[in-house]
C-alpha cells in the first residue's frame, strides 16, 4: 500500500474526472488534499464533505486568467503552511479550425495554451521556489525523501498529435512534456522530482459527452485493449509517483493508453 500520511498535495481541476478520482485516491492513501476547482463548486463541495474538511481543502481559481496561478498557490499555502506535491491536472480542450476567422482561431489557441501550459508552468515555478526553501521548523529531512514532487498531466496527443481541429491542444500538451523534463534536469540538484503522465482516452464526463456525438466503437478502435482507461487508472499512478518511492524515474513520462502508441 502507498502511504502518503503527512503529505499535503495540491490537485488542480480536482472536482471531476481524473482530478476527482485522484483527490479521492490520495486521501485514501493518507494525504491531505487541496482541491482546486474552476467553476464546479457544487461538485467540489460534495467531495470535500465526503472526505472531511480536515483532510480536503477547497481553493477556487480560473486558470484561464493570467496571474491566477500565483494567487492559487498563495491561497493553497494558507491551509497547512506547506505543499509537498503538486498535481497539475486542470486542462481544457475545444475545437478550432484553420477555416475559423483569425480572431476565433487566435483566441482558442491563446486560451488553450494559458490553461494547459502557461498556468502549469506558473504553478511549477511557485512549487520550485517553495521546495527550494528549507523548513527550519521541522526536523532535518530524510535525504532519501524528495524535497518536493511535481506531477504534470499531459496527453497521448503530445506524442501522436491530434486531429487538425485540436492541434492547439496537442501542442499545449507537448509543451507540458518538455516543461517537465526541463524541471527534472534543472532541479534534480535540489532533490525536486518531476514526472509527466500521458493518458489516452479516459472515461470522464467530457468523453461521455463526446460519445453521445460519436460512436463509442470509433473512439476505441485504435486502443488494442479495446476500452478506455478509468480515471482511477490514472489516479493510482499519481499516488505512486507522489510517494517518492522511485526518485530515479524523475523526468519520466508514464503512458496510460492501452498500448495505443502509433495507430
Here the cell at position 3 is 502511504
Show which residues are catalytic. 169
Q: How many CB atoms lie within 10 A of CB 99?
A: 9
The answer to whether position 211 is within a domain reads: no
Here the CATH number for the domain that contains residue 165 is 3.40.50.720
Structural domain range at position 19? 8-202+230-256
Provide the pLDDT for residue 203. Answer: 74
Residues whose CB falls within 8 Å of the CB of residue 33, separated by 6 or more in sequence, listed in order: 8, 9, 10, 11, 14, 23, 26, 27, 51, 55, 56, 57
The answer to whether position 1 is within a domain reads: no
The answer to whether position 261 is within a domain reads: no
Model pTM?
0.91
The answer to whether position 238 is within a domain reads: yes
b/e map 166-188, b = 16+ CB within 10 Å: bbbbbbbbbbbbebbbebbeebb
| Count, residues in the chain | 263
Q: Provide the 8-state DSSP code for 202.
A: B
Provide the pLDDT for residue 216. Answer: 56
CA distance 32 to 7: 6
Provide the pLDDT for residue 139. Answer: 44
User: Are the C-beta atoms of residues 56 and 36 closer than 8 Å to each other?
Assistant: no
The answer to whether position 95 is within a domain reads: yes
The answer to whether position 219 is within a domain reads: no
The answer to whether position 53 is within a domain reads: yes
**Interval 205-240: pLDDT, tens:** 666 555 545 555 666 667 766 677 789 999 999 999
Question: Could you give the number of structural domains in the chain?
Answer: 1
CA distance 238 to 29: 11
Question: pLDDT tens, position by position, for the chain (263 residues)?
Answer: 799 999 999 999 999 999 999 999 999 999 999 999 998 799 999 999 999 999 999 999 999 999 999 999 999 999 999 999 999 999 999 999 999 999 999 999 999 999 999 999 999 999 999 999 975 344 445 666 899 999 999 999 999 998 899 999 999 999 999 999 999 999 999 999 999 999 988 776 666 555 545 555 666 667 766 677 789 999 999 999 999 999 999 999 999 877 676 54
The answer to whether position 119 is within a domain reads: yes
Selection from 116, 121, 113 nearest residue 150 by Cα: 121
Amino acid at each position: 500500500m502507498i502511504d502518503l500520511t503527512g503529505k499535503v498535495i495540491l490537485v488542480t481541476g480536482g472536482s471531476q474526472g481524473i482530478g476527482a478520482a485522484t483527490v479521492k485516491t490520495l486521501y485514501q492513501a493518507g494525504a491531505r488534499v487541496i482541491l482546486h476547482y474552476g467553476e464546479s463548486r457544487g461538485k467540489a463541495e460534495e467531495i470535500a464533505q465526503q472526505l472531511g474538511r480536515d483532510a480536503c481543502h477547497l481553493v477556487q481559481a480560473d486558470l484561464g486568467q493570467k496571474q491566477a496561478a500565483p494567487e492559487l498557490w498563495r491561497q493553497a499555502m494558507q491551509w497547512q503552511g506547506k505543499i509537498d506535491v503538486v498535481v497539475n491536472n486542470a486542462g481544457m480542450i475545444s475545437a478550432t479550425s484553420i477555416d475559423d476567422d483569425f480572431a476565433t482561431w487566435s483566441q482558442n489557441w491563446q486560451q488553450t495554451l494559458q490553461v494547459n501550459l502557461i498556468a502549469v508552468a506558473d504553478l511549477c515555478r511557485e512549487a520550485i521556489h517553495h521546495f527550494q526553501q528549507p523548513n527550519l521548523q521541522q526536523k532535518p529531512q530524510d535525504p532519501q525523501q524528495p524535497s518536493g514532487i511535481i506531477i504534470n498531466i499531459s496527453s497521448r496527443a503530445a506524442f501522436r498529435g491530434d486531429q487538425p481541429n485540436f492541434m492547439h491542444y496537442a501542442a499545449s500538451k507537448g509543451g507540458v512534456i518538455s516543461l517537465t523534463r526541463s524541471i527534472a534536469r534543472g532541479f534534480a540538484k535540489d532533490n525536486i522530482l518531476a514526472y509527466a503522465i500521458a493518458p489516452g482516452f479516459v472515461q470522464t464526463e467530457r468523453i461521455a459527452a463526446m460519445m453521445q456525438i460519436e460512436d463509442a466503437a470509433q473512439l476505441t478502435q485504435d486502443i488494442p485493449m479495446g476500452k478506455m482507461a478509468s480515471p482511477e487508472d490514472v489516479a493510482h499512478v499519481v499516488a505512486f509517483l507522489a510517494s517518492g518511492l522511485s526518485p530515479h524515474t524523475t523526468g519520466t513520462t508514464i503512458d496510460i493508453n492501452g498500448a495505443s502508441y502509433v495507430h
